[in-house]
A and B are shown apart, each in its own frame.
Chain A
Amino acid sequence: MTKFLSGLAKGMATTARTMTTHAHTQQYPHVKPELPSRSRGVIALLEENCTSCMLCARECPDWCIYIDSHKETTPPATEGGRARQHNVLDRFAIDFSLCMYCGICIEVCPFDALFWSPEFEYSTTDIRDLLQEKDTLGQWMPTVPPPEPLVPELPETELQQLVVEVEPEDDPAAGRTTERGTGEVPPPGAGEQP
Chain B
Amino acid sequence: MAGDIVEIVLRAVCVLAAFLVLPLLVGQTEHKVMAHMQGRLGPMEAGGFHGWAQLVADGIKFTQKEDIVPLAADKRVFRIAPALGIVSYLFALAVIPLGPHTVGADVPGSLVWVLAVGGIGTVGTLMAGWGSGNKYSLLGGLRTAAQLVSYELPLILACASFAIAAGSLSLVGIAHAWTPWWLLWQLPGAIVFLVAATAELQRPPFDMPVADSELVMGPYTEYTGLRFALFLLAEYAGIVVMSLLLGVLYLGGWTGPFDHQIGWLWTLLKGAIFAVLIIWIRVAWPRLREDQLQRVAWLGLVPLALLQLAITAIGVVVTSR
Partner-B contacts on A (CB < 8 A): 8, 11-12, 14-16, 18-19, 21, 23-25, 27
Contact = CB atoms under 8 A, between A and B. Distances in A.
B3 interface: no
A86 B39 CA distance: 59
A95 to B, nearest CB: 33
B33 A19 contact: yes
Interface string B33-45: 1011111110010
Interface stretch (B57-65, B229-237, B280-288): B280-288
B52 to A, nearest CB: 16
Interface string B20-56: 0000000000000101111111001000000000000
Contact of A18 (B38, B41, B285): B38
Interface of B: 33, 35-41, 44, 280-281, 283-285
Contacts of B280: 12, 15-16
Nearest to B38: A18
Contact of A11 (B36, B44, B284): B284
Contacts of B41: 23, 25, 27
A16 B277 CA distance: 11
17 contacts: A8-B284, A12-B281, A12-B284, A14-B284, A15-B37, A15-B38, A15-B283, A16-B280, A18-B36, A19-B33, A19-B37, A23-B35, A23-B36, A23-B41, A24-B39, A25-B41, A27-B44
A18 B87 CA distance: 37
A23 B40 CA distance: 6
A112 B36 CA distance: 47
B137 to A, nearest CB: 31
A19 to B, nearest CB: 4
B282 to A, nearest CB: 10
Contacts of A27: 41, 44
A21 B44 CA distance: 18
A180 to B, nearest CB: 67
B320 to A, nearest CB: 35
A18 B284 contact: no
Nearest to B282: A15
A25 B40 CA distance: 6
Contacts of A14: 284
Nearest to A7: B285
9 closest Cβ pairs, A-B complex = A11-B284, A15-B37, A19-B36, A15-B284, A19-B37, A25-B41, A12-B284, A15-B283, A23-B41
Q: Which of A12, A16, A19, A23 has the most chain B CB atoms inside 10 A of its CB? A: A19
A19 B283 CA distance: 11
Nearest to A24: B39
A11 B37 contact: no
B1 to A, nearest CB: 54
A116 to B, nearest CB: 31
A19 B36 CA distance: 5
A8 B33 CA distance: 18
B36 A8 contact: no
